[in-house]
Amino acid sequence: MKHIPVTLYSHSVAYFYKIMWSAMSQSPHENSVFPVANGDRQSPIDIKTEEAKYDPALLPISPNYDPTSAKVILNNGHSTCVEFDDTENKSVLRGGPLSGSYRLRQIHFHWGASDDIGSEHAVDGKKYAAELHVVHWNSDKYSTFVEAARQRDGLAVMAVFLKIGECNSQLKKITDRLDAIRAKGKQALFTNFDPSCLLPHSLDYWTYLGSLTVPPLLESVIWIILREPITVSSEQIAKFRSLLCTAEGEAACCMLRNYRPPQPLKGREVRRN
């Protein structure tokens, strides 16, 4: 099978998480290796619902994804990702707080060692079992994902909370493929997939200006956090934990958690539609 290169978004992440999770939380290593970790718009955050400002100017979000743009599912050592063909505007996100079109690049997941914690963002201090990130880049202003990732309006990430309940038949399309990519560096073809099948019925959201939650922690993300979670089973989340952060031939180490703790808001405004 032809090798499909891992993106900038996935580079150096395993090293970062090895450092960060060795201290279980905010580590002094994080700030020394990535000084921007102390920046003014770091993510994730704890969303205080009573403090989120209603903004009547915020538009509904409009995801429009072409299932044929899905290409590969991979284990990059810190998460599982589905990557999409972003050479043209086949799959885009518009509306909400965005100006213009943001092109779909990839989706990935964050989870924890138990079902009661695993999301990156919190809501009034509450964590969910997991969090899905749908990553887009500003294709109206920039030529590539790499270029956009270094601009303050370059990326848009839509986040979806996952709560424990009934089995999610749409997520099963992904969890059924995890055995094929259990080891770090493994990848497999993954086609004909529309990530909007993983979105909740309501697309109401909170939005704020933030950063990547993995290296290089660039402060280039317009976050769109969907307020309604989707339901997944405990067994489905357990399949994510069975992934390895080690490659074949190395001592097996399961990917039990891969979330970054909430960061200080530092005066930023959280808005809601």
Token pair of 15, please?
């090293």
**Catalytic-role residue among 3, 78, 108, 133:** 78
Phi-psi region of 95 (alpha: psi -120 to 50; beta: other; left: phi over 0): left
- Name the helix (H) or strand (E) containing 108: strand 102-111
Strands 155-164, 230-232: pairing kind: parallel
What is the secondary structure of 169-236 as a DSSP string? TTTHHHHTTGGGG-STT-EEE--S--GGGGS-S---EEEEEE--SSTT--S-EEEEEESS-EEE-HHH
Three-point CA angle 227, 237, 187, nearest 5°: 105
Amino acid present at 170 = Q
Residue pair 146/159 in contact by the 8 Å Cβ criterion? no
What torsion do the CA atoms of 204, 206, 209, 215 make, to the nearest 10 degrees?
Answer: -90
> Annotated catalytic, 78?
yes
Q: What is the DSSP letter of 152?
A: T
For the four alpha carbons of 38, 41, 44 and 50, in that order, the dihedral sign comes to positive
Catalytic residue numbers, as ranges: 78
